[in-house]
Structure 1
């Protein structure tokens, strides 16, 4: 290889690396640094990119505390099935449901919007969900559960009231995160076959 060709190859390689860095840096991050895995920056960054990419495809907002508003979101990322996010926003006596399901797969490309629902929910129903979240000990749960496996699903619950918290579990078969996720999912009225409820 000539000196000119080697210089050109190195220049092209540096340009490619720079472009990749810009693309990664330009992706919206939905979670504070260390919120998903405080023990490993690499794992935390990987999860943040994965979860954020799915939420961005749904046009979901990043959650943060806001005066007079309480927001809860369940994000369901199944390896081989459609990604789903269900969010309730409680402000004074009003409660709004925002639900989105994509046509891709939670472990792969998110795809495009398959269905979306935005509607008012009875404030009493939202109050019961919120009371369950408090009673479940959500605010004191460890942020992460067991290590992820190859095939399964991420159950991610976020809350933004006067403070923000996110808790995730890999394919939970029971426990508070599964129960919170099921309650929020039930608000949509969407039905899923038993084989897809993993």
Structure 2
């Protein structure tokens, strides 16, 4: 095999490998210094989306009958599209929460943010940050409803946590295979809730949304963040 061909094959194999491990979610492709933000990296333009368009492509849906004769809508990504409705919906609530953007600049810490939009209940967000040996959980609750108007900030608190609590959370995130989860919304249903998780570190950014999980590793990771706060939420309301 001649050297040029060997070099081309090597580059091709490397490219495939990087794609498989999530190279396409590199923070470099999302960084945008033209986005107008304040000193806390909160967008000053209410029309600014909170997610890169690549994170939420449109999906096509299929109705799947479950064992109990109910139906669930399963989704399949439509490549090269952008679900503007979903991004605007999610972003409206994050704007109301006065949350920072997570994708527009490089950072020297690691952050996970779970945004919980229940159709008939108060929207909430939980942002867990690690910087060196400091671990902080921030949470906010709005007065509105996740499927309607967001309302205003009703609760805004923070808590200093431990390395052990960070390790327990990231272990759950790892079990959920978060950094390789499918983009877009994994499934869709009437009412219910959107469980949106973002992750960002020095090299990567990712955002995914799961509709109304009731069990599993992804549910456990999100529920763990709720458990670290002083919010009292019954199991019935964890939909």
TM-score, L = length of structure 2: 0.67
* CA distance in 2 between partners of 1:145 and 1:182 (Å): 19
Provide the residue aligned with 1:170 in structure 2: 211
- Residue in 2 that maps onto 1:195: 236
Is 1:134 the equivalent of 2:174?
Answer: yes
Partner of 2:50: 30
**2:94 is the alignment partner of 1:55:** yes
Give the drift of 1:60. Answer: 0.6
Could you tell me how far 1:132 is from its partner in structure 2? 2.2
Instruction: Calculate the aligned-residue CA RMSD, in Å.
Output: 2.0
Q: Which runs of 4+ in 1 moved over 3 A?
A: 40-43, 144-147
| Offset from partner CA, 1:136-193 (integer Å, 9 cap, x none) | 2111111235442221000011100120001111111222321111011111121112
Residue 128 of structure 1, CA deviation: 1.9
The equivalent residue for 2:126 is 86
Report 1:70-81 matches (<5 A). 70-81=110-121
Quote the Cα distance in structure 2 between the aligned partners of 1:177 and 1:136. Answer: 5
User: 1 CA distance for matches of 2:209 and 2:223?
Assistant: 14
Ranges in structure 1 where 5+ consecutive residues have no aligned partner: 1-24
| Cα displacement (A) at 1:114 | 1.5
Number of equivalences: 174
Tell me which residue corresponds to 2:83. Answer: 44
Q: Compare 54-63 and 25-34 and name the one that shifted more.
A: 25-34
SS at match of 1:124: helix
Deviations 1:73-109 (A, max 9, x none): 1010000000000001100000111100101000000
Provide TM-score, normalisation by structure 1.
0.81
What corresponds to 1:106 in structure 2? 146
Q: Is 1:85–1:99's contact at 8 Å kept on the other side of the alignment?
A: yes
Q: Secondary structure at the match of 1:86?
A: strand
Deviation, structure 1 residue 42: 7.3
> CA 1:56/1:116 → structure 2, altered by over 3 Å: closer, same or farther?
same
